[in-house]
């Protein structure tokens, strides 16, 4: 028998990730801003592949493009590439310990930065600064708390205390 999952959690987590992405940061901390949306999409692709996949990543990416005012389709492409890689390796990644998952997510976030740099080069947008490459490290460090928090709410562990 399967347990009832909260249907509000997936859209709520996406909205929270969008709001965290809009949160203003001091100029010195902006290069460290994690790609919150990628962390949330990665969680859902790993843990609930029946409800989230490439279409989910594309729609969330388009929503992010509209929210952040970025090039239409850029974040959609970034999230679809990440979701595709996650779907391909989901069976292995799901059973990694959380610290190994964190390293894999760091690699995916680094790949995301490579995609962004390639888009900038292809469109002739100004090249990225060296500080641009620090955000995957922040995302990698934040993966364990993000994963544990969403998982606790999804499975209802927070109510048992």
Q: pLDDT tens digits, the chain, 161 residues: what are they?
A: 455 677 899 999 999 999 999 999 998 999 999 999 999 999 999 999 999 999 999 999 999 999 999 889 999 999 999 999 999 999 999 899 999 999 999 999 999 999 999 999 999 988 778 888 999 999 999 999 999 999 999 888 655 55
Q: What is the pLDDT of residue 79?
A: 97
Question: Is-contact 140 105, C-beta < 8 A?
Answer: yes
Q: What is the pLDDT of residue 129?
A: 83
Distance CA 44, CA 68 (A): 21
Distance CA 60, CA 25 (A): 23
Distance CA 48, CA 69 (A): 29
Distance CA 98, CA 145 (A): 10
Distance CA 24, CA 115 (A): 24
Helix (H) and strand (E) counts in the chain: 6, 0
Question: Is-contact 81 38, C-beta < 8 A?
Answer: no
Q: What is the pLDDT of residue 158?
A: 59
Backbone angles phi, psi at 119, to 5 degrees: -65, -45
Cβ atoms within 10 Å of 22's Cβ, excluding its own: 10
CA gyration radius for the chain? 16
Q: What is the pLDDT of residue 105?
A: 97
């Amino acid at each position: 028998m399967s347990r009832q999952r909260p249907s509000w959690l997936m859209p709520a987590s996406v909205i929270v990730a969008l709001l965290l992405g809009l949160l203003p940061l001091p100029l010195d901390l902006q290069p460290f801003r994690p790609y919150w949306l990628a962390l949330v999409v990665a969680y859902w692709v790993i843990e609930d592949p029946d409800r989230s996949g490439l279409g989910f990543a594309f729609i969330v990416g388009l929503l992010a493009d509209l929210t952040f005012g970025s090039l239409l389709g850029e974040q959609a492409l970034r999230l679809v590439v990440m979701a595709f890689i996650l779907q391909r390796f989901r069976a292995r990644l799901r059973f990694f310990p959380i610290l190994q998952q964190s390293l894999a997510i760091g690699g995916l976030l680094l790949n995301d930065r490579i995609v962004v740099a390639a888009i900038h080069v292809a469109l002739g947008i100004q090249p990225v600064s060296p500080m641009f490459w620090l955000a995957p490290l922040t995302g990698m460090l934040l993966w364990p708390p993000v994963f544990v928090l969403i998982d606790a709410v999804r499975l209802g562990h927070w109510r048992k205390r």
